[in-house]
Structure 1
């Protein structure tokens, strides 16, 4: 999180939300070829954060809206919660976490600060009261994290993973860590924690924070998930060749973002389509296995303050409702036309889901070619300026292909039947 009160870091310049149309008729595009045999990363899920100290807890109805997958629900499959430095606050996170698990979601946890007695202040540049974990408290801090894991387990919440530190490289308001300190903790202490370990959760996917972990075999052996945030990260920096080289057997998660900002309404259209493009790039270019938003319920987030799905939330739901944990991304023509973004996913039963984002100002006639499929039809759902997750009529497949019109400024999900 960039700031506890929601202040926004200036983000990198984005492309216009919707490009201007040259004419009113559908634009032709190259075929979007989907190759189920060309398998990529396994998807772990989509979700967001609940922090009951900084904002109020989700209500029981909002928990169902977030983690249920029926009509008017987001279908989230990941919940992120904080590891409060004050143990008296731990119980506050139980109710929503337990309900998320009942819906089949995965729960992860991130700390902002160790308990105060484990820290010391130091001078970091112009910051005279910077905070860090005392070197003689690394073992006690590992025990603190493990105690949280055990507490949640005892209250019916089995954590999938716990982080060492939220945004150690953007910690003006919480605890700083250097890359060397993270490596030391992973090498010497993380192995004593009884659940999977996430690190480093750099605020901007800064590779100089994670490279030393990947380059240290002992530290890497105690890492399970390389976590990153994408605040202002340029899309050309999404790929991570070193992780591909060294990260075998490790998971790659995007554990926090809001996009494109925290100042505009989540219902501002077509700006909300930026979320759909951002998720596409995170899954296709960066090959993240999970995409986790900041606060689930916020005026700029996936759920409005009244507990209903926003337009940004609908963009997320076009992925989260139909691309479930255990599905696998498969190769597809990523950009068959200017301003059109296509990604595809395969379920264990071989059903194929395609998500198509059209950020252009004109409709696009798009032919989809699904290689080696025996499926006979597709169902689809669309969100645009006037519709939200609206079901469309079924479309037949002819020799594995179908043609559909992508409305101007829209996101559409297709699922084979």
Structure 2
């Protein structure tokens, strides 16, 4: 009887509750009106933070947009209606040495690592890599694809087919949208002469100049390479005409002035691509900001790509210019862009190494000058040097860099133990929130010494922002866009990457 009484009272309470809700003020036909006083659901913001002290290493935290009106004096306003260059992406060089080291790993570990850096959902989302067109100072040997005179002898080298191409295929299986740039360190030796006056054969891998009588052969060499790689399932998105054309001293090199490059492009390479129906982009220069002008022979090489662009017969074949950061300042990009705004800019090489490397200093410097610094100067891509070297900085070639560090170093005692260096985190902070195809957008408002930032609108309608604080104390910042804002205090000497749905 007691249980029946309890059940009766419960039914009565439920009935009265329903009757009250049905007849309560503000309701109609038993359906409550939406409470318009409630704010929209709070949208999360992904944030990734790395500190120079390594107390935080790409640590993910979640923020929410501010619920109150933004009155912050530290406000940076983003304007997605003001857009600049389209960004191709970020990545590293997959040299012969890198691919050799990767293939020394067991298959499962290698796949896990490549997924970590190339997967666009669970990983960092690298989207642009650079490879050598032939040998480099990080190959297992010196070689070209046509060491025996005569273009009928062209063939991809074993180092490419055994190491580079298999790794590229594994990468493309993870992220098919990765763009690949190829750069030659030297043409075949039989195409080289000691100088353009004497025109004597130069049978050496380093130095020398391209014999003008071999311009057509060398253009055919590029065409055959692009087609051979395509036949192996690898599309070459872009080529640079010569790696470091003003550097005679690498283990494999070619000296090529802007005058030579102009003539080669307009009389041979450009027409050869057009005839063969090749859409691979031709990128000029590919060397330091200062044009190695400290060397007297380079005195007339200042603004190298701009001088080529002044010739319309050459310029019509050229997509843009590429730069390295071993000399000069990224402000040179401002000059080139302002002079020729229709030509693209790429950053294609910087290495870290034992010439003063510290994680803290290089993390800060590279993000300020190579990452954010080049993007804010209309650069389309940021590519650093070797993705992976062993703990002895190799394999490498005598005459090249013998104390470079990779983005990641691997211990060759087990080919398992990895050390992620500063470049790993530089690239992670860029590629995780800035997708290939993103458009850089306008930022305005709060500025202060030691604070650097860039912002984009991604193809999937997300917003990506990278903020760097190089100061010894924390720095507050508020990001505002479309009537919403979020605030964060960056730790001393740190970088934070933000991403949210627009």
With the shorter chain as reference, the TM-score category is: 0.7 to 0.9
The secondary structure found in structure 1 opposite 2:233 is coil
The secondary structure found in structure 2 opposite 1:318 is helix
**Could you list the per-position Cα deviations for residues 129-154 of structure 1 after superposition, in whole angstroms to 9, with x for gaps in the alignment?**
84111110010011111111111100
Give the structure 1 partner of residue 179 of structure 2. 106
Deviation at 1:180, TM superposition (A): 0.5
Aligned residues: 356
Match of 1:164 among 234, 238, 241: 241
Give the structure 1 partner of residue 30 of structure 2. none
Give the structure 2 partner of residue 148 of structure 1. 225
CA distance in 1, matches of 2:424, 2:164: 22
The secondary structure found in structure 2 opposite 1:176 is coil
State whether residues 435 and 459 of structure 2, in contact with CA within 8 Å, keep that contact through their aligned partners in structure 1.
no
Query: Structure 1 residues 275, 53: closer, same or farther in 2, change over 3 A?
Result: closer
Query: Structure 1 residues 342, 359: closer, same or farther in 2, change over 3 A?
Result: same
Give the structure 2 partner of residue 276 of structure 1. 367
Give the structure 1 partner of residue 167 of structure 2. 96
Matched, 1:287 2:351: no
Query: Structure 1 residues 36, 362: closer, same or farther in 2, change over 3 A?
Result: same
Matched, 1:333 2:444: yes
Give the structure 2 partner of residue 318 of structure 1. 429
The secondary structure found in structure 2 opposite 1:224 is strand
Query: Structure 1 residues 120, 65: closer, same or farther in 2, change over 3 A?
Result: farther
The 5 A counterparts of 1:240-319 are 240=335, 242-248=336-342, 250-258=343-351, 262-265=354-357, 268-278=359-369, 279-284=371-376, 286-298=377-389, 300-305=405-410, 306-307=417-418, 309-319=420-430
Give the structure 2 partner of residue 360 of structure 1. 471
**Could you list the per-position Cα deviations for residues 201-255 of structure 1 after superposition, in whole angstroms to 9, with x for gaps in the alignment?**
1233634321221111110111123222222222443312x4344342x432111
CA distance in 2, matches of 1:148, 1:58: 23
The 5 A counterparts of 1:392-411 are 399-411=483-495
CA distance in 1, matches of 2:446, 2:351: 24
Give the structure 1 partner of residue 255 of structure 2. 176
The secondary structure found in structure 2 opposite 1:345 is strand
The secondary structure found in structure 1 opposite 2:285 is strand
CA RMSD of aligned residues (A): 2.6
Matched, 1:233 2:328: yes
Deviation at 1:29, TM superposition (A): 5.9
Matched, 1:133 2:210: yes
Q: From the two aligned structures, give the one with the greater helix fraction.
A: 2
Deviation at 1:317, TM superposition (A): 0.7
CA distance in 1, matches of 2:468, 2:215: 46
CA distance in 1, matches of 2:97, 2:387: 14
State whether residues 185 and 254 of structure 2, in contact with CA within 8 Å, keep that contact through their aligned partners in structure 1.
yes
State whether residues 275 and 315 of structure 1, in contact with CA within 8 Å, keep that contact through their aligned partners in structure 2.
yes
The secondary structure found in structure 2 opposite 1:140 is helix
State whether residues 289 and 330 of structure 2, in contact with CA within 8 Å, keep that contact through their aligned partners in structure 1.
no
Deviation at 1:54, TM superposition (A): 8.2
The 5 A counterparts of 1:13-24 are none
State whether residues 196 and 211 of structure 2, in contact with CA within 8 Å, keep that contact through their aligned partners in structure 1.
no
Deviation at 1:58, TM superposition (A): 2.5
State whether residues 35 and 332 of structure 1, in contact with CA within 8 Å, keep that contact through their aligned partners in structure 2.
yes
Query: Structure 1 residues 162, 235: closer, same or farther in 2, change over 3 A?
Result: closer
State whether residues 434 and 456 of structure 2, in contact with CA within 8 Å, keep that contact through their aligned partners in structure 1.
yes
Give the structure 2 partner of residue 414 of structure 1. 498
State whether residues 29 and 364 of structure 1, in contact with CA within 8 Å, keep that contact through their aligned partners in structure 2.
no
**Could you list the per-position Cα deviations for residues 349-390 of structure 1 after superposition, in whole angstroms to 9, with x for gaps in the alignment?**
4321111111111112212221x3xxxxxxxxxxxxxxxxxx
State whether residues 319 and 344 of structure 2, in contact with CA within 8 Å, keep that contact through their aligned partners in structure 1.
yes
The secondary structure found in structure 1 opposite 2:214 is helix
TM-score calculated relative to the size of structure 1: 0.78
Greater Cα radius of gyration, structure 1 or 2: 2
The secondary structure found in structure 1 opposite 2:348 is strand
**Could you list the per-position Cα deviations for residues 27-56 of structure 1 after superposition, in whole angstroms to 9, with x for gaps in the alignment?**
x96321111111111100101111115873
Structure 1 gap segments, 5+ residues each: 1-16, 19-27, 373-398
The secondary structure found in structure 1 opposite 2:346 is strand
Give the structure 1 partner of residue 283 of structure 2. 198
Deviation at 1:75, TM superposition (A): 2.3
Deviation at 1:158, TM superposition (A): 0.7
TM-score calculated relative to the size of structure 2: 0.66
Query: Structure 1 residues 65, 196: closer, same or farther in 2, change over 3 A?
Result: same
State whether residues 75 and 478 of structure 2, in contact with CA within 8 Å, keep that contact through their aligned partners in structure 1.
yes
The secondary structure found in structure 1 opposite 2:334 is coil
Matched, 1:52 2:52: no
